[in-house]
Each structure stands twice: as structure tokens, then as C-alpha cells.
Copies of this chain bind each other. A is one copy, B any other.
């Protein structure tokens, strides 16, 4: 199903793969113990980039779409994981209300919703969809590309509960990243399980918090394996109080970009990597590719055109970006035929339940593949991430590569747990 991947894997990544495989029981035990202390996100997808010499997560999505891109024969894994998740959160659950992103009505996104609804239905729940959109005033049935349909219904809020007409859910699952803020209709719902919690939305979440949490996780993981955490952890820095329109904070940004590039250059030298380091500037909140910028030299920031500055300041919700994450750029060296490919790992509860490759035909290896506009082909992982083959030659085995991706994906998911604990507005500060 999946075309042959032409990859340029060399030294460090093969050592990483080998070390991960050798340490499999220790890794699985480590995750088990971590999940005793930290609650996994209900569901999660993680974008990875495999540079051949380095493998790192570049985006951790706590409201994952794209479930329709997984292979249908992976569905039982997702259903089983959903059963485990529900059992822990709300064993008496009957009704699940799924709240979609109301800005997106593309056929692909609707197929994603249908797939999610099917997973939770097969896990034993009555699932209905409630829309935040003002346009949905009555149950509205939409056609899907495969001939199926889904029905969006208007939400009904009472003082303490959210539901639909004749549908009182005990659990509300958001598939909406709240990047335009938390709607009042979702606030103060103390009688129902609202998943993920509101502070996982982009109105609260910051990429720099996640990067910091991931760094902590990556360091502890790397220590256990006796390896350099840089192999799985991109260097990063945060810049606040930037005002792109009048150039305020630009020199600080330039200094941070320079610091990240210098650190990366040193590591490239240490590992004998003959590539030119680059950094990516991302808005600290928000999920889409608007405002992303690739920088190869800090000096480039001195001579940005007004258009470039405007792009950097632009965000989904219209507020100008004033805080950014500067992240070491990670090349993606995986190819499907001649197109650049980037793996995306899907998790439900603590389990890796599948993944796919995001394949772009008109993007370079150092560009974001999740930016809009590029032509994008999803290629479902053709195997489970749970079947490593310890005997296989490093770098030559698809099951082993998928296992490694599943491990790094889970590290990012664990980092999200750390991150949400640290930013939980209801947490007891005295702890």
C-alpha cells in the first residue's frame, strides 16, 4: 500500500534505532511508570521529522484531525484504545458529544469526524455531533465523499450541562483546537467530562511550554538510554513582546535565532553532518502554518520586507503575533518517490494506534509540510507501530522504524501531559 520510501538514513539515526530496539522492555516499562504519574491526553497526533541523523517531533496536536487517513484495518486498535480510555475516565458512559472545528467543512475533515464517531460508537457509545457554528440552527446532514453522511446538530446549553435535543452526554470530546478562544458555551461545565480540558486549547497553550516540557522528557529518556538528547530534541528559545509592525523586539529575536543556529552548528560539527543549519520561527500559540518562517542566518531578519513581517505577525484568529518560538529546524529526509514525506503518529489514550505519511510534491526538505497550499497526499502506515523486529538490520526495517516513531510520538504526548499539568488553572499550587 505504501510506496517504497527512498530515505537517506545514516549513522546517528541507525544507532538511535538500534538503542531503542535493544531497550524496548526498559522503554515500555518507563512509559508504564510515567503513565502512572501523568494522565495521557485523551487523543493526540504528533508530526515527526526524520533527518536521517536526527528524529524529532515538530508539532503535538491535542485535537487531532486526519483520523480518516489511517488504514481501516488499524481501526480495531483505535477502538480498543478508546475502550481503555473510556473505562478509565467514565466507565458508566453512554453518550458522547463530539464538538468539531466549526471553521472547517472540507470533505476530508468531515470524513475525519465520521471516523472518530465510528471509533467511539464501536467502543460502545452513542455518538452525536454538536456544532459551535451559528449557521447550524437545526440538524444538518452533510454528504461524505464515500457516500456516507454525518449530521451536525445545534448545541443546547443549560445552566450546568451541554447537550443536543434529546441527548444528554456525560462526556464531551472536542475536536476543535479553540484557537479563536474558548466559547462561553463550553465554560463552567463541571458536571460533564470535557476532553481535552479547555487549557489544552490554543487560547491557553503555548508552543514554548510544550518545547520546555518535551526537553525535560527527552533528557530523562535519553539519560535512560545513555544517549545525547539532541538526537531527539530540537534546540529552542522563546521570544516575547515582539511587535513585528514597528520592529520592537526584533534584535532579541535575532539574538535567539543566532543562539539556536550556533547550538545546531556545533552539534552538526560534532556529528560530522554536512548540512546548513536553519531555524524556524513559529507563533507561540496557534496551530496552522500562517506566520511560520525559515531562517538560515540571523542577519536575514534585519532586512525583512514589510510583507514578510506581516506574514510573521499573521495568525488564524487575527490578533498580531507577539510571542514566538524559535526552533531548530529538522530536515525531513524521507521520500516517497521524489516527494518529501513526514510521518504523523496517532495515539489514543497511551497507545499508538496508527499513523500516516504527509507527502508533499512541491515542498523542500526544510519547509513545513503542514502549511496550506502544498499538495498533500496521506499515505497510511502499512503496519502497526507495535511490531518491532529486534533482529533486523538498523535502518532497514519498516516495523522498526514505525516502532521508533511510536516511541518518539509517545514522548511528545507525555510532554503534553507535563505541559498541561504545569498550566492547569485548577491545579493546587501548594503542591
Binding site for B on A (CB under 8 A): 24-25, 27-29, 31-33, 35-36, 73, 75-77, 79-81, 83-84, 86-87, 91-94, 121-126, 350-351, 384, 386-388
Q: Is the interface of A mostly helix, strand, loop or mixed?
A: helix
Given contacts A28-B123, A35-B87, A83-B351, 10 further A-B contacts (CB under 8 A): A28-B125, A32-B86, A32-B92, A36-B91, A75-B386, A75-B387, A79-B386, A80-B351, A84-B84, A122-B386
Instruction: Contact check, A29 vs B124: say whether CB atoms are below 8 A apart.
Output: yes
A29 and B79 form a contact (CB under 8 A): no
Write 13 A-B pairs (CB below 8 A) sorted by A numbering: A24-B121, A25-B121, A25-B124, A27-B124, A28-B125, A32-B83, A32-B86, A32-B124, A33-B92, A35-B91, A76-B384, A76-B387, A80-B386
Q: Nearest-CB distance from A350 to chain B (Å)?
A: 8
A171 to chain B minimum Cβ distance, whole angstroms, is 12
Which residue on B lies nearest to A34, using beta carbons? B91
A81 CA / B87 CA spacing, docked (Å): 13
Residues of B within 8 A of A123 (CB): 28
Copies of this chain, tallied across the complex: 2
CB distance from A417 to the nearest CB of B (A): 15
Q: Tell me if A91 and B33 are in contact (CB < 8 A).
A: yes
Q: Please name all residues of chain B whose beta carbon is closer than 8 Å to the beta carbon of A33 when the two chains form the complex.
A: 91-92
A29-B351 contact in complex given A73-B73, A76-B384, A388-B122, C-beta closer than 8 Å:
no
Contacts of A77 in B (CB 8 A): 76-77, 80
Measured between alpha carbons, how far is A123 from B387 in the docked complex, in Å? 10
In Å, the complex CA distance between A387 and B76 comes to 7
A353 — nearest CB in chain B belongs to which residue? B80
Give the distance in Å from the alpha carbon of A93 to the alpha carbon of B27 in the complex.
Answer: 12
Q: How far is the CA of A87 from the CA of B30 in the complex (A)?
A: 11
Which residue of B25, B84, B386 contacts A76 across the interface (Cβ within 8 Å)?
A: B386
Please give, as numbers and ranges, the residues of chain B lying within 8 Å of A24 by CB-CB distance.
121-122, 124
For the complex of A and B, list the 5 residue pairs with the smallest distance between their C-beta atoms, beginning with the closest: A28-B124, A76-B384, A76-B386, A32-B91, A79-B386
* Contacting pair A80 B80 (CB below 8 A): yes
Which of A28, A83, A91, A93 has most B Cβ within 10 Å? A28
Q: Which residue of B lies closest to A31 (CB)?
A: B124
User: Which residues of chain B come closer than 8 Å to A121, judged between CB atoms?
Assistant: 24-25
Contacting residues, chain B, for A386 (C-beta < 8 A): 75-76, 79-80, 122
Neighbouring B residues of A29 by C-beta, 8 Å: 92-94, 124
CB A229 to nearest CB in B, in angstroms, measures 21
